[in-house]
Amino acid sequence: MLRACVVSLALMSATMAAPASFPSPRAAPASPAVVYAKPAPPGRLVDIGGRRLHIQCKGTPEGPVVIFEGGLSQYTAYSTYGKAQDLIAPFAQVCIYDRAGLGWSDPVTGPRTRQDMVEDLHKLVLAERFGRPLVLVGHSAGGLLARFYARKYPGEVAGVVLVDATPESIVFAPGAAKARQAIIAQINGALDGAREGAPVTALPPGTPAEVQMAFTPAILRTLKQEYEAIDRVPAAMRKPGGYGTLGDTPLAIIRRGKTSLPPNAEDEQWRQAQEAMTSLSTRSFLLVAEHSGHVIPYEQPQVVAAAVQRVLTEIRDH
């Protein structure tokens, strides 16, 4: 029961509201266990200096490169970004990559920081020799990483799209650290005695191998690393705007339109926080995905593609 709870939390951390096509580990039969073999990577493994990151790109290699920065535990084949990527590919080169230890990217042992993750992406950009500006699309917790990258390497970033992105006021709210520690404790329980390379819980027959990966010890250890990294963020970065503002860089904010019925206090807090992020840039605009919950790239990928196209237009016209 504990392991089912942990992998369910891992799934929620990845998407906050998983697409209907994803299995529910709570509903999984106790036996027989699903036979798992790690599938081949859909993209390429790129050496960033003794380690490899997995990246999958589509589209034409012209103009700025659009790069998706995923939320917690998201990776290329187990993400909600594929539909949006396919809609963007006709007018831009668009890439999804796996952070260290996720998907097919090599893991890193020991503590990690958010700075480490930003540096990994920078090394990947250099290794790929894109040689042109980036448009970073950050979903959920990936929005903070996209902003951190733009703060660290402003000369490389021509535009940013934040997709229902987590603001500092939410991730560092009172009680948030305690909640993360509870999840980390559950992950530790799931890892205790787990068999390496196999899901830590039984999954429904027919579960794709790419999805089964999300429930393996390697991915859960990385999820734990990423949770722990949040609480290593310096105090100065925990206040609103602490991850960096964007000057006059074109910025699209997309927030979810679906709420509880009627909207509750948390819905209102999220709406206000999303709208407040428009102040991060003097050239920002807000879009509402009226028919989506948190997983906007999956539920309304056309809204994400439209935001990217508008940001590209802003870049060209500036």
Question: What's the pLDDT at 84?
Answer: 96
pLDDT at 34: 55
Helix (H, G, I), strand (E, B) or coil at 162: strand
C-alpha span between 133 and 130 (Å, rounded): 8
**Cα(85)–Cα(88) distance, rounded to whole angstroms?**
5
How far, in Å, CA of 135 to CA of 137, rounded? 7
User: Per-residue confidence of the chain (318 residues) as pLDDT tens digits?
Assistant: 333 333 443 433 433 333 333 333 333 333 445 578 899 999 999 999 999 999 999 998 888 999 999 999 889 887 789 999 999 999 999 999 999 999 999 999 999 999 999 999 999 999 999 989 999 999 999 999 999 999 999 999 999 999 999 999 999 999 999 999 999 999 999 999 899 999 998 889 889 999 999 999 999 999 999 999 999 999 999 999 999 999 999 999 999 999 988 889 999 999 999 999 999 999 999 999 999 999 999 999 999 999 999 999 999 987
> What pLDDT is recorded for position 318?
79
Q: What is the pLDDT of residue 103?
A: 95
Q: How are strands ordered across the β-sheet holding 251-256?
A: 44-47, 52-58, 93-97, 65-69, 134-139, 157-163, 251-256, 284-289
Half-sphere exposure in the Cβ direction for 289 (13 Å, CA): 26
Alpha helix segments (H runs only) across the chain: 2-15, 82-88, 114-128, 142-152, 168-171, 176-191, 209-212, 217-230, 265-276, 296-299, 301-317
Find residue 57's DSSP bridge partners. 95
Under 8 Å CB-to-CB from 219, ≥6 apart: which residues?
A: 10, 73, 75, 101, 102, 213
Go through the chain and tell me how many residues it has.
318
Query: What CATH fold (topology level) applies to the domain 2-317?
Result: Rossmann fold (3.40.50)
Residue 77: what pLDDT?
A: 83
Confidence at residue 13, expressed as pLDDT on a 0 to 100 scale: 40
Q: How many H-runs (helices) and E-runs (strands) does the chain carry? A: 11, 8
